[in-house]
Amino acid sequence: MLTPTQAQDRAAALIDLALRAGADAADAIYGGQESESVQVRLGALEDVERSESEHLGLRVFVGSRSASIGTSDLSDDALNELAQRSVAMARLAPEDRFAGLAPEDRLLKDGLPDLDLADTAQLDPAALREMAMAVEAAALAVAGVTNSEGGGAASGARSVALVTSHGFAGAYGGTSRQLSATVIAGEGSAMQRDYGWRSAHHLADLACAEEIGRLAGERAVKRLNPGRIKSGAMPVVFDPRVGGSLIGHLAGAISGSAIARRASFLLDKADAQIFAPGITIIDDPRRPRALGARPFDGEGLPTARRELVSDGRLTGWLMDSASARQLGQAPTGHAARGAGGAPGVSTSALHLEPGALSVAELIADITDGVLVTELIGSGVNGVTGDYSRGASGFRIVNGEIAGPVAEFTVAGNLIDMFAALTPANDIEWYRSVNVPTIRIDGMMVAGD
């Protein structure tokens, strides 16, 4: 894997080759990553893996025609062939009046902020094995845990570089540290499985192995002997580990590409009050050490903190340059790039601001409801907002968490769900989408 500086130089060389081959404009993006992981099971080493990959993608424009192509061969000969082939492909492509590089006057030109995404601590396989052993041992020590699917520890690094033919060049790197355990509680047909997992850029930000393992074991034991729930309308409470998916549906619905295609349930709701007053949802790609943080977007525009929802009101769309041109607006710094193809749209480090109530206060007046800790399937219609997911979790009876329940479905419409959403104050900060516990009244639950 190249260092960020080496990756930027290689992308710049590819841009020069593309222009010499006849491209009117071009951008090149490099993505490289390496990782080591150790997996143990029942106290014995089960697997040690190391992986390394890198890819350099080139997008060229000949007039209003464009083509994208990528390679993992970074030699001079391979890049020269890549440039020649991409220009030949672009000349045969259909015209697209919305395609093109980002507006030059909006490019990031003030230098990259230091987001502190790279850890200097070294983790060799022996250290990873010790961490994996510790997290599994903590999970197995929980009374009622009977078996293990393993404990794992991983350490990785990545480099990202982007260069455009009209003046942008930038690169950054980052590290990742991960720790997890998956265990089984109970015996025979009554067995239940659950997990504990954490990820961070810095080892110092990772919860300790004992805490993660204990969480996995306790979760599995709490799921034993699940009952069934009666069908009906009731309050549904989403645990933080599943509640982030609701905010993810919002981000997808306000992407410029979905709006331009008229394929969003929030079409024509720009600036509309879609949540209750007081609800704030923020994308903060420059929050130091945040998972998903990045100094620039996939087109070289600066990233910035933005309230997607402010006091319950939608603030507009998230746009790359192509969708912005289609909608007659300006790009918002939310372009996302893979190794090939045109940019899409993505948030970076998204969170729902916590509310004022504790979880106990949030559920105190629920006579009969359900706490969802796992969602199954993907029954969400991004065009209509219709929502239906399989789920498991726990009953809420007279304001208290009661026994586990399984094999039920929660359903509603995302517009109605957003309007009825109430957050607690227990936000967690170890994902790229972070939310507290969320309550939504009036959802339909289909059980017995």
| pLDDT tens string 290-345 | 999 999 999 999 999 999 999 999 999 999 999 999 999 999 999 998 877 889 99
- Residue 378: the pLDDT is 85
Domain boundary among 191, 221, 251: 221
CA geometry: angle at 75 spanning 74 and 79, to 5°?
Answer: 75
Domain count, the chain: 2
CB 141: neighbour CB atoms within 10 A? 12
Shared domain for 279 and 324, answered yes or no, is yes
Q: What value does the CA radius of gyration of the chain take, rounded to a whole number of Å? A: 24
Does 248 share its domain with 216?
no
Residue 335, pLDDT score: 97
Question: Could you tell me the pLDDT band of residue 275, with boundaries at 50, 70 and 90?
Answer: very high
* DSSP H or E stretch at residue 356: none
**What's the pLDDT score for residue 448?**
85
Tell whether 332 and 435 lie within a shared domain: yes
pLDDT at 338: 81
Residues 48 and 130 in one domain: yes
Mean pLDDT of 139-164: 97
Mean pLDDT of all residues in 380-393? 97
Q: What is the distance, to the nearest Å, from the Cα of residue 416 to the centroid of all Cα atoms in its chain?
A: 24
Contact status, residue 154 vs residue 177, Cβ threshold 8 Å: yes
Which domain, by its residues, includes 65?
A: 4-221
Calpha distance 276→421 (Å, rounded): 7
| Mean pLDDT, the chain, integer | 96
Last-in-domain residue among 162, 193, 221: 221
Q: Are 286 and 161 within one domain?
A: no
Reduced to 3 states (helix: H, G, I; strand: E, B; else coil), residue 217 is helix
β-strands 421-423, 438-446 pairing: antiparallel
Distance CA 434, CA 380 (A): 20
Distance (Å, whole) CA 288 – CA 295: 10
Shared domain check, 232 and 139: no
Q: Are residues 144 and 264 in the same domain?
A: no
* Pair 60, 42: CB distance under 8 Å: no
- Contact status, residue 400 vs residue 415, Cβ threshold 8 Å: no
Encoded tokens for 151: 């404990």
130 shares a domain with 108: yes
The predicted structure's pLDDT at residue 341: 80
Beta strand pairing status for 368-380 and 232-238? Answer: parallel
Give 10's Cβ-side CA count (13 Å radius): 29
Dump pLDDT digits (tens) for 411-426: 999 999 999 999 999 9
Q: Give the span between the Cα atoms of 120 and 295, in whole angstroms.
A: 20
Q: Are 313 and 224 in contact (CB under 8 A)?
A: no
Please check whether residues 146 and 265 belong to one and the same domain: no
User: What number is the average pLDDT over the span 387-401?
Assistant: 97
Predicted local distance difference test score (pLDDT) of residue 89: 97
**Mean pLDDT in residue range 5-33:** 97
DSSP secondary structure letter of residue 255: B
User: How far apart are alpha carbons 310 and 74 in whole angstroms?
Assistant: 45
Q: What is the mean pLDDT of residues 86-105?
A: 96
Among 169, 188, 221, the domain boundary falls at 221
Q: How large is the average pLDDT for residues 213-230?
A: 96
CA dihedral (360, 363, 368, 373) in degrees, to 10, reads: -80
- Report which of 402, 396, 404, 400 is spatially closest to residue 443, judged by C-alpha positions: 396
Q: Which residue has the tokens 């970076």?
A: 348
Residues 87 and 150 reside in one and the same domain: yes
Residues 353 and 385 in one domain: yes
pLDDT tens track for 165-219: 999 999 999 999 999 999 999 999 899 999 999 999 999 999 999 999 999 999 9
Average pLDDT over residues 380-401: 97
Q: Which of 316, 331, 288, 344 is nearest to 108 (CA)?
A: 331
Q: Are residues 428 and 335 part of one domain?
A: yes
